[in-house]
Amino acid sequence: MAVYKNGVYLLGDLDQEKPPAVRANECITSGPPLYIPGGWRNKPHELTREACENDRAFCMIGARAVEPARHMIFPGQVLAFRGISDNDLAMYWHMLVIPDLATTQQHRLRWVFDLTRQHIPLLMKMKARAMVFLAQNRAAFAARYGPGPIGRAMKNEVQCGFHIVPTVGYLHMHVLFGPLTVFGGSDESRGRWISLEEVMDILMVEETMEKYRYKTGAQTGWPLSLQGPPPPPVPPPVPPAPSASTGTSAPPVCAGPLLRRARTL
């Protein structure tokens, strides 16, 4: 029976650790494929059509038409539920946090690149919900995993972030507690990841994530170790007009923004 305290789901004996297979190497190869083959690889700067078609369940959760199969945590403006994949990312706990549709005035945020500076409070609220959950369940985590891991989790091992090209077209923030699985720590996962902190930093500078996407994905190649789309063909140089001899040289080539690497996933 679910126990809630101040709207926070409290872990109980029935909240089992994920099965060993999830934590072992076979988590990479067993189970149904998590990612759309080739979709994100070929077009890392685009939201795939498949993602848009996979969002039905999240929309229903966001509209509160259904509850997720696993624990709903924090009824409120943001909703959280336990990670839903067997190919999981974190060893101890993996949550997904989404804004509900009422909070976003029914305008569904599809992915991280729909975010603008005005969403920073929403992002902070999403993270706060996860941290409150961890704090409220600190004793249960400590009983299960020992005080060390969960103590570190409070400081260093809570990672919030987004898939750059998600498989679901409804904004969802991943919250990973504790060490990562082999799958979660793989180069593939790292390359597809952008942390919450990075998103906040970018929004402070660029105002919208869409600008950043355009700069990094469409113009200069994707920064996060991904194979970006092929560069556009370079037009042939235009010879200067004979009369334009007043010293208008070609503008310096912009090297593009300093490319950032994803932090450890």
Query: Which residues of this chain interact with Zn ion, rule CB under 5 A?
Result: 163, 166
Q: Quick one: 111 or 133, whose CB is closer to Zn ion? A: 111
**Taking a C-beta distance cutoff of 8 angstroms, is the pair 210, 202 a contact?**
no
Instruction: Give Cα separations from 1 to 11, 138, 142, 176, 187 (angstroms).
Output: 10, 19, 21, 24, 39
Tokens for 254, please give them: 């912009």
Q: Minimum distance between the CB of residue 174 and Zn ion, rounded to whole angstroms?
A: 6
Q: Quick one: 68 or 166, whose CB is closer to Zn ion? A: 166
117: number of Cβ within 10 Å = 15
First-residue to last-residue Cα distance in the chain: 33
Q: Quick one: 88 or 157, whose CB is closer to Zn ion? A: 88
In one-letter notation, the amino acid at residue 192 is R
Q: Minimum distance between the CB of residue 89 and Zn ion, rounded to whole angstroms?
A: 9
By beta carbon distance, the residue nearest Zn ion is 163
> Under DSSP, is residue 83 helix (H, G, I), strand (E, B) or coil?
coil
Q: Minimum distance between the CB of residue 221 and Zn ion, rounded to whole angstroms?
A: 22
Q: Minimum distance between the CB of residue 244 and Zn ion, rounded to whole angstroms?
A: 52
Q: Minimum distance between the CB of residue 93 and Zn ion, rounded to whole angstroms?
A: 16
CA distance 67 to 125: 20
Number of residues written out for the chain: 265
Tokens for 78, please give them: 């943001």
> What count of Cα atoms within 13 Å lies in the side-chain half-sphere of residue 44?
24
Q: Quick one: 119 or 163, whose CB is closer to Zn ion? A: 163
Cβ contacts of residue 104 below 8 Å, gap of 6+?
122
